[in-house]
Amino acid sequence: MEKKWAFITGATSGIGWATALALAGQGYSIFATGRRRDKLNELETALKAAHPNIQVKSAQFDISDRDDVTQFMKAHYAEMAHIDVLVNNAGLAKGVDKMQDAKLEDWDTMIDTNVKGLLYVTRGIVEHMVRRNSGHIVNLGSVAGRWTYPGGGVYCATKFAVRALSEGLRMDLLGSKVRVTNIEPGMVHTEFSLVRLGDQSKADKVYEGMTPLSAQDIAETIAWCVARPAHVNIQELVIYPTDQAHVGQVARKN
Ligand code: NDP
Ligand code: 8X3
């Protein structure tokens, strides 16, 4: 039987890494991407050890670099034609500054990665899914794509954009069998806060006294969405930790 392939961006850490393992557990061969080659190698080793029957490939590129993505898609055109599941996971927040104080480079990084990068990768793969009349695109949105919070305006705007893009893509794909799911988690303990705040002790404080979601919680949810029968499309899912009622409303034990 022909292998099924999942293409996962940002698989070097957190939700992407856990999703690679979860989908491999469902028998998917994995095409993992990210910017850190050492982590991609580590993931390849872990996947092959846990799931010897699947195939694993990886590629190192920056999704926010349009030329990089275009070059990758051209060079791997035949392989992209066989991707069954695309998980647009790579993304990040930079800083928590008020807009009047923020660094323009942080805004560029978030918008270029979370919005433009997601679009570049999607464009390279979705045309093949349409041609084959099958496929599933899972986008990593966020509760930040529904509700805004102080110091998060631009990150939230990128995740609002991801929700709009998921909705728009579903409309453009209507009539085909290609599914689009927008996953919208609250607080998940990954490298996210370290990347955002640039300091491990500040990052640790974000999760102090509460139980956040794990990357595996989200990976299992993604795997469940993908495993629904072909006529079922889970369009959107909001997932909070029990200790979080809303953005900024967290129950902490002292
Ligand atoms: P991590 O920081 O652990 O992982 C982010 C991944 O994105 C890494 O693998 C990183 O890889 C990759 N990445 C970042 N920028 C680029 C780029 N320019 N090109 C290619 N890859 C890139 O965070 P999470 O696992 O938490 O984040 C995954 C997704 O989930 C993000 O879209 C995030 O916004 C979203 N999310 C996270 C939540 C949380 O609380 N953690 C909640 C809701 C949504 P590398 O550095 O190797 O390039
Ligand atoms: C990450 C969740 O609430 O930190 O998307 O913005 S939050």
At 240, list the tokens. Answer: 């909070």
The percent of residues above 70 in pLDDT, for the chain, comes to 100
Measured CA to CA in angstroms, residue 10 lies from 13, 64, 149 at distances of 7, 12, 25
Ligand 2 centroid–CA 92 distance in Å is: 10
Active site amino acids: 155
Output the ligand 2 site: residues, CB below 6 A.
142-144, 152, 186-187, 247
How far is residue 79 CA from its own chain's centroid? 20
- Does 46 have pLDDT greater than 90? yes
Summarised one tens digit per residue, pLDDT across range 72-125 is: 999 999 999 999 999 999 999 999 999 999 999 999 999 999 999 999 999 999
Domains in the chain with CATH codes? 5-245 (3.40.50.720)
pLDDT, the chain, mean: 98
Measured CA to CA in angstroms, residue 122 lies from 98, 166, 167, 235 at distances of 31, 11, 14, 17
Range 219-234 average pLDDT? 98
Nearest-5° angle of CA 40, CA 41, CA 42? 90
Integer Rg of the chain from CA: 18
Ligand 1 centroid–CA 63 distance in Å is: 11
What pTM did the predictor assign?
0.98
Q: Given the CA of residue 196, which atom of ligand 2 is nearest to it? A: 4
Number of other residues whose CB lies within 10 A of the CB of residue 33: 24
Q: Which one-letter amino acid corresponds to residue 40?
A: L
Residues 6 or more apart in contact with residue 187 via CB below 8 angstroms:
206, 207, 210, 212, 213, 240, 241, 244, 250
Range 140-169 average pLDDT? 98
pLDDT at 1: 53
